[in-house]
Amino acid sequence: MQILNFTRPIYYALALLFCSQAAFSEIPKRITELPLHEWRSISSNTIADLNPCPSEDCAWSGSEGQLGVTDAWTGGAYASGAGKLGALIYAGGGHNAYYGNEIYAFDLQLLAWERRSSPTDGKTPGDAKTFGLNQNCRFWNDTPVVPHTYDSVVYDPETNRFIMLTPSDAASHVPPGRDNGCDSTTPAYFDLTTNTWGNMESVGPAGLTDGPTAYDTKRKLFWGRTGFRDPRLFVSYDPAKDVWKQYEDEPINIDSMGAIDPTRDLFVSAEFAYPPNSIGVLDLSRPSSPVKYIKTVGDKEIENKGPGLGFEWANKLGGFIAWNDDKNLYLLTPPEKNWKKQAWTWTRIKASGENPGVTSNGAYSKFQWIDALGIAVIAPSINSPVYAVRLAE
């Protein structure tokens, strides 16, 4: 027994080494060979290759067709449990741009997009007037009407679900099969294990669709701010219990992005849609305390690049990584000691390689940081490749 106890740490170390080598062997060379600070396209296909209606004249096509998935103020998520290395998840449309509620997943091991579901058709196939929206603002088969998702779509690693926190069309726009507007603040989820839609039961706050959100790994909650609509709230959502909590908040601009600093336990909002551009910080240990707007220094050009930028916490970099267009990225580093009184620092990361270009109507959470791989990824359009840039080993 003594020998076994003595050798057990060595056994565990060898087992961990083997597992890490096996995991590393799953990473494609196009990712492992990415040079530092150089953008490269890594995908073998595009979302457009998977168009469920190439003629763009189906019941769900709307005014833009499939282009609405990336063009219509939409976000996305990184799903760590979808595939061996996880997947980038895109969905969206909203208003009258696109009504297709299919889910697209970019598998980071296979480096290919796949369509995980088909869009809801009319009750009478091909007839948009028979979508038959119910009293909960769902299609006839109880699947969600996609909104402009902004930063309000999230991933729950506990259940491997992609969640639309407020799956609704704005009340000022008329979905097919409805004589007037339609809103829903009851979350819908897409189960990435079974590739099926489901619905929660709780009713969340209005306005979260166009506000910043982020996942709290410590508490296993989602946090968000309700945008520019009343009431102005800072909210948490527990997907396991299907329970919301609400706290008073100050006004915030539409098109803001959110991320969580787990080291300091902070929810951080990048509010760059309209002047004065600002960074709002909420202490998650005291969620009822008022938002603190902090001072930033350094290369602040990103603050003037408009709404809907990508904004994610990068643990390996010790800060928030931001991107909006072209090649350069920006790192926002909180101070080591007093985050409330000391300035936060922006640093420009000059990148070379291919130019991802501009995402029409905002990147939002289509831009993702994948800490385990040390890379940032973005597909700016259904017609573009997925671009990746290495920022850490």
Residue 4 in this model has a pLDDT that exceeds 70:
no
- Coil, strand or helix: which one is 293? strand
pTM for the whole structure:
0.92
Beta-carbon count within 10 A of 354 CB: 15
Closest-CA residue to 79 (of 377, 331, 359, 329): 377
Quickly state the pLDDT bin for 174 (edges 50, 70, 90): low
pLDDT of residue 207: 83
**β-strands 375-378, 368-370: how paired?**
antiparallel
Amino acid sitting at position 65: G
pLDDT of residue 362: 93
Closest-CA residue to 197 (of 239, 169, 164, 221): 164
Q: Could you give the angle at the alpha carbon of 356 between the alpha carbons of 30 and 44, nearest 5°?
A: 40
Q: What is the mean pLDDT of residues 178-184?
A: 69
Q: What is the mean pLDDT of residues 147-174?
A: 85
Residue 246 in this model has a pLDDT that exceeds 90:
yes
Residue 19 in this model has a pLDDT that exceeds 60:
no
Residue 10 in this model has a pLDDT that exceeds 80:
no
Quickly state the pLDDT bin for 134 (edges 50, 70, 90): confident
**β-strands 296-298, 344-349: how paired?**
parallel
Listed in sequence order, the DSSP H helices in the chain are 2-25, 29-32, 68-71
Helix, strand, coil share (%) of the chain residues, nearest 5 = 15, 30, 55
pLDDT of residue 6: 28
* Tens-place pLDDT, residues 320-340: 999 998 899 999 999 999 999
Structural domains in the chain, CATH included, are 41-390 (2.120.10.80)
Percent of the chain clearing pLDDT 90 (strictly above): 73
Q: What are phi and psi of 234, to 5 degrees?
A: -105, 125
Quickly state the pLDDT bin for 274 (edges 50, 70, 90): confident
Quickly state the pLDDT bin for 21 (edges 50, 70, 90): very low
Torsion of CA 242, 268, 369, 38, to 10 degrees: 170
Quickly state the pLDDT bin for 13 (edges 50, 70, 90): very low
Give the separation between CA 129 and CA 162, rounded to whole angstroms.
Answer: 28
Amino acid sitting at position 167: P
